Structure 1
Amino acid sequence: EIAVRTAIGRGGVAVLTVPGDIGDQELPSDRPARLSVAGSANRPDDPVLDEAADALRDGGKVTMLVGRGARGAREDVLALAERLAAPMVLTLKAKEGFEGDNPYQVGQTGLIGNPAAAHAMDEADTLLLLGTDFPYREWYPEGKKVVQVDRVAEHIGRRVPVDVALAADVGPTVRGLLERLERRKDREHLDDAREKFGTWQQGQQRLAAPGHDRGLIGKVRSALDNRDHLVRPEALAAAVDALAADDAVFTSDTGMATVWLSRFVEMRGSRSLLGSYNLGSMANAMPQAIGAQLLDPERQVVAFCGDGGLGMLLGDLMTVRSRRLPVKLVVFDNQRLGMVKLEQEQAGLPEFGTELDNPDFAAVAEALGITGIRVSRAEELAEGVSRAFATPGPVLLDVLTNPEEIAVPAKPTIRQGWGFAIAKIRENLTSPGGP
């Protein structure tokens, strides 16, 4: 009981080791396990709340960066966004809890983000960080006043210099700020960010449309980046989003699978999201899906698997089969370590060592007694995804996706673009059998 409470109380990753001689001991029926941990509710002292409220009131345009630590205070955080007329940039971990039915959110920033979120951060005069330790320092704009709320004191200021620090829980802190702030009349900053976010979303949906490559623009683009007419990963992610349950649990492998989930899967309803977003582990989607399905056998679980990650842990398919777990394994099969390829090319390096010699994953699944579905053309996608979700029990959906699809960062730089162009020239000049 103490070990479990310690693991939950500290958060993060924990390993619980149970000695063998404990495993065969019986727990008396009159002595149930007591594992609950009461949540904390720390609130800053009034002088610090006053200082933070003054900074937000007099700090010009405010943008909020909201993380997982704020998820327990959703309604209070939304009320604060309304009070401040502040666009809300979400970390990936905050998609669950804040993305659905939120008129203030503008998606993610960083490499997986979008231009509207980057614009909201750059154009702000003051940044309000709520329950986040977003680690990518280069995506914090310089020269802003920063107010940060985090119950872990050592998290404050380690990514960006902080002017007002509140080492406390988000919920009571935000309620204290609401008591001190009036509704801001000027909504231009919020409206501008939301408009840009809507425009970006419309462009993304055009990419995900099943008939994209049949239109004039799509045909021109396909001639350059999709000559084999493989499925666009955007279309696959959007199709899964449309058919998955509103209480589904999603897992995603680190890499491009996470990019497509971030951009095209909305955490509406009571959907949940699991991933290795701090540790950056490879091949985590399937084992996390197995754990989630074992915990809640009646709930739909969908894994966004990269082909590299799935290949590393093919043996886990035997666990799926033996335990009859009805997980839906969606494989973005681009024959590549996609994120590594993208990082190489943005640095001006030709692709090297990222190609994968994949088997037919659907056939492998069938050999193990799991329903396998393979999709190789865009016109097969809708039927394949529909059949995967309509089929009872475990399903592996192996979709051959375009390896040349580029996930443009929120703020693409001239250096990145030039590097990508140089990499492509080098790739095309290098013979297939050359060095």
Structure 2
Amino acid sequence: MNPESNQSMNETVAKLMLKQLETWGVKRIYGVVGDAIIGLMDEMAKQNTIQFIAVKHESVAAMMASAEAKLTGRLGVCLATMGPGLGNLLNGLGDAYLDKVPVLAITGQAPTQKIGTDYKQYIDQQELIKPLAEYTTLVTHQNSVTDLLVKAMNTSLIKGTVSHLSIPKDLFEMKSSAKIYREAKIIQGQTFIDKKELQNVVAVMKTAKKPMILAGVGAKNSVGDIEALAKVWGAGILVSLGAKGFFNDASENLLGGIGQGGNPHAKQLFQQSDVVLLIGNLWWPEGYVPQHARIIQIEIAKENIGKGIPVELGVVGAAEMIVPQLTESFRNDSATNDWMTQVYTAKEKWANENEQEGLQSSQPLHPSRIVRAIENNVHEDAIIALDTGDVTVWFNRNFRSKKQQIIFSGEWRTMGFGLPAALAAKLCYPEKQVVAVVGDGGIEMTLADLLTAVKYKLNIVVIIFNNHALQMERDKMIASGSNEMGVDLTNPDFIKMAEACFWKGYHIKDESELDHTLKKAFLNEGPTLISVETAPVIHPETKG
């Protein structure tokens, strides 16, 4: 990283921070204004390169930053005041931290002479955020600001994690002689793995009689290669929810998802597998996986090899570099026909059952029927922001993807993620159709930010599965024989609320309205909310 030779000296800390962020390609900052960051806001108002997205709650700001990082691979940035501002950011930062995406949080702090005192809102912010940030520090001198900012950004981008800076309120307006640093252009040193280094991997793979591939988010750039490998190796392909949109549901060897909401016939098949190849996947759903299989993992980050998974062999590198070489090693081999017959049988059986599930007619509407209507009407390249809850498992079970990109809260699994993620998606990709698929419990956590869509003219569609309950928790209470308590929701009239926030609103009670209403909603020029009366159906794989 080299400092810019023509950078002006003695600018304010706030101005230098914005210049440094701009130099590294930051296009927007999500946040809520507070007293401790007024100096930064003042400088932000004087420039038009970085857009400030003012949201209603800091948790939404952090979730939007996380969503941007997931969608683009670039640094997501959120901003808040000291104390409660940072406290509110933590939920969204937890999502970024556990899903391993690059997010930078900037928060104000007490004036330098008040740090450590009984000053209002003061808390040791480094201790508060420590469990959710790889790097966090307090900036104590105006001339160190860009050094620390670059260190934080580098940490987030290289490690795929959360970094955090606390800036004392008075520091923003101080003059600084700090330099602006250009972002280093990374050249991948190793673009090829010698076949000799993969000999042990190929040898284990060739012992397989019942091979399976489990692909995750890291498989995004190698879908065709994985399909080719599966064909010559004679393997079924399973995917995590994060990879669901990468593979076309019609792909020959694709069985679909695994875990709750996946292909229900894949579990038994997967448990029979004797060799499993994990590609860009860190998720190992207990109860669905083989106990005695030999496991090989391809992962871009060395530190992720074997995390919670009994891996025998780990290969560090990009899947798109490694998978074709593995495929080449099987060119003269023949796949195990008996095993592939089982794979195709399980695929076809679930395809037929899934088709029928999506045709179910009831009032209120069955969740599978709603998912099928979304599938039939959404654009092939849409971005679908999926909330956490009962809606997640029904969507995973019944949605047959084409080219859609699906974004969700993976490991943190926070409710309320759907709307913020959709807002960020539309800001990042204004040309794309963006749909949030949410439960009534999840959307109620972030309803205030319906107004954010209006403020920034974000044409998104929000579809609410309105079953008047925290349905997943209710299902688990029923399955375990527990008393039901705290799961009934007192819902507002979502349509009146949408209209009060200048959205177009539709309320669907009958199946005859479903497809027609979705078609109208997707043609609207402004933000649109659809509330669908949803039957409180217990998901088939619910466990107590």
Same topology, TM > 0.5: yes
Alignment of 1:145-160 (within 5 A): 145-160=294-309
- Once residues 116 and 97 of structure 1 are traced to their aligned partners in structure 2, the CA distance between those partners, rounded to angstroms, is 21
- Once residues 257 and 38 of structure 1 are traced to their aligned partners in structure 2, the CA distance between those partners, rounded to angstroms, is 42
- Once residues 393 and 306 of structure 1 are traced to their aligned partners in structure 2, the CA distance between those partners, rounded to angstroms, is 21
> Using a 3 Å threshold, how does the CA distance of structure 1 residues 187 and 399 change in structure 2: closer, same or farther?
same
> Using a 3 Å threshold, how does the CA distance of structure 1 residues 38 and 250 change in structure 2: closer, same or farther?
farther
2:246 counterpart SS class: helix
Asked if the contact 1:333/1:398 (under 8 Å) is kept, the reply is: yes
Quote the offset at 1:346 in angstroms.
2.5
2:257 aligns with one of 105, 108, 116? 108
Deviations for 1:30-59, whole angstroms, at most 9, x for unmatched residues?
A: x99757655675655644411110111122
> Using a 3 Å threshold, how does the CA distance of structure 1 residues 242 and 38 change in structure 2: closer, same or farther?
farther
Give 2:314's aligned residue.
165
Give 1:294's aligned residue.
427
1:304 counterpart SS class: strand
> Using a 3 Å threshold, how does the CA distance of structure 1 residues 88 and 359 change in structure 2: closer, same or farther?
same
Alignment of 1:225-304 (within 5 A): 229-269=363-403, 271-304=404-437
Quote the offset at 1:352 in angstroms.
2.2
Deviations for 1:95-139, whole angstroms, at most 9, x for unmatched residues?
A: 132235521111111112222321331222211111111143332
Give 2:352's aligned residue.
202
Q: Which has the higher strand share?
A: 2
Asked if the contact 2:440/2:467 (under 8 Å) is kept, the reply is: yes
Give 1:407's aligned residue.
539
1:380 counterpart SS class: helix
Structure 1 residues not aligned, in runs of 5+: 26-30, 214-221, 223-228, 420-435
Give 1:184's aligned residue.
334
Give 1:314's aligned residue.
447
> Using a 3 Å threshold, how does the CA distance of structure 1 residues 207 and 278 change in structure 2: closer, same or farther?
same
> Using a 3 Å threshold, how does the CA distance of structure 1 residues 323 and 37 change in structure 2: closer, same or farther?
farther
Alignment of 1:81-160 (within 5 A): 81-160=230-309
- Once residues 154 and 112 of structure 1 are traced to their aligned partners in structure 2, the CA distance between those partners, rounded to angstroms, is 29
- Once residues 272 and 383 of structure 2 are traced to their aligned partners in structure 1, the CA distance between those partners, rounded to angstroms, is 35
Higher relative contact order (CA 8 A, sep 6+): 1
Alignment of 1:278-427 (within 5 A): 278-403=411-536, 405-409=537-541, 416=543
> Using a 3 Å threshold, how does the CA distance of structure 1 residues 100 and 359 change in structure 2: closer, same or farther?
same
Quote the offset at 1:387 in angstroms.
1.9
> Using a 3 Å threshold, how does the CA distance of structure 1 residues 304 and 14 change in structure 2: closer, same or farther?
farther
- Once residues 248 and 164 of structure 2 are traced to their aligned partners in structure 1, the CA distance between those partners, rounded to angstroms, is 31
Asked if the contact 2:389/2:442 (under 8 Å) is kept, the reply is: no
- Once residues 105 and 158 of structure 1 are traced to their aligned partners in structure 2, the CA distance between those partners, rounded to angstroms, is 25
- Once residues 272 and 106 of structure 1 are traced to their aligned partners in structure 2, the CA distance between those partners, rounded to angstroms, is 19
- Once residues 119 and 156 of structure 1 are traced to their aligned partners in structure 2, the CA distance between those partners, rounded to angstroms, is 25
Higher alpha-carbon deviation: 43-52 or 286-295: 43-52
- Once residues 285 and 303 of structure 1 are traced to their aligned partners in structure 2, the CA distance between those partners, rounded to angstroms, is 5
If you compute each CA radius of gyration, which structure gives the higher value, 1 or 2? Answer: 2
Q: Which amino acid aligns with 1:11?
A: G
- Once residues 258 and 23 of structure 1 are traced to their aligned partners in structure 2, the CA distance between those partners, rounded to angstroms, is 46
Higher alpha-carbon deviation: 360-369 or 47-56: 47-56
Higher alpha-carbon deviation: 36-45 or 302-311: 36-45
> Using a 3 Å threshold, how does the CA distance of structure 1 residues 306 and 85 change in structure 2: closer, same or farther?
same
Asked if the contact 1:41/1:172 (under 8 Å) is kept, the reply is: no
- Once residues 471 and 192 of structure 2 are traced to their aligned partners in structure 1, the CA distance between those partners, rounded to angstroms, is 44
- Once residues 183 and 110 of structure 1 are traced to their aligned partners in structure 2, the CA distance between those partners, rounded to angstroms, is 31
Asked if the contact 2:386/2:392 (under 8 Å) is kept, the reply is: yes
For normalisation by structure 2, the TM-score amounts to 0.66
Q: Among all aligned residue pairs of Structure 1 and Structure 2, give the percentage whose two residues are the same amino acid.
A: 27
2:287 counterpart SS class: helix
> Using a 3 Å threshold, how does the CA distance of structure 1 residues 122 and 155 change in structure 2: closer, same or farther?
same
Give 2:90's aligned residue.
none
Deviations for 1:284-319, whole angstroms, at most 9, x for unmatched residues?
A: 000010011111222110000111111111100111
Higher alpha-carbon deviation: 47-56 or 97-106: 97-106
Deviations for 1:226-281, whole angstroms, at most 9, x for unmatched residues?
A: xxx20111111111111111111100111122222223333313x21111012111
Asked if the contact 2:377/2:515 (under 8 Å) is kept, the reply is: no
- Once residues 361 and 23 of structure 1 are traced to their aligned partners in structure 2, the CA distance between those partners, rounded to angstroms, is 44
Asked if the contact 1:128/1:148 (under 8 Å) is kept, the reply is: yes
Quote the offset at 1:388 in angstroms.
1.3
Deviations for 1:307-366, whole angstroms, at most 9, x for unmatched residues?
A: 111111110011112222100000111111122122222323243211101011111001
> Using a 3 Å threshold, how does the CA distance of structure 1 residues 184 and 43 change in structure 2: closer, same or farther?
same
CA RMSD of aligned residues (A): 2.7
Quote the offset at 1:183 in angstroms.
3.5
- Once residues 18 and 248 of structure 1 are traced to their aligned partners in structure 2, the CA distance between those partners, rounded to angstroms, is 39
- Once residues 293 and 356 of structure 2 are traced to their aligned partners in structure 1, the CA distance between those partners, rounded to angstroms, is 35
**2:323 aligned with 1:174:** yes
- Once residues 302 and 76 of structure 1 are traced to their aligned partners in structure 2, the CA distance between those partners, rounded to angstroms, is 29
Deviations for 1:180-233, whole angstroms, at most 9, x for unmatched residues?
A: 223324233223223222222222222221xx33xxxxxxxx6xxxxxx20111
1:352 counterpart SS class: coil
Higher alpha-carbon deviation: 9-18 or 117-126: 9-18
Structure 2 residues not aligned, in runs of 5+: 1-23, 25-149
- Once residues 157 and 370 of structure 2 are traced to their aligned partners in structure 1, the CA distance between those partners, rounded to angstroms, is 36
1:96 counterpart SS class: coil
- Once residues 256 and 284 of structure 1 are traced to their aligned partners in structure 2, the CA distance between those partners, rounded to angstroms, is 14
Deviations for 1:134-157, whole angstroms, at most 9, x for unmatched residues?
A: 143332221112222223333323
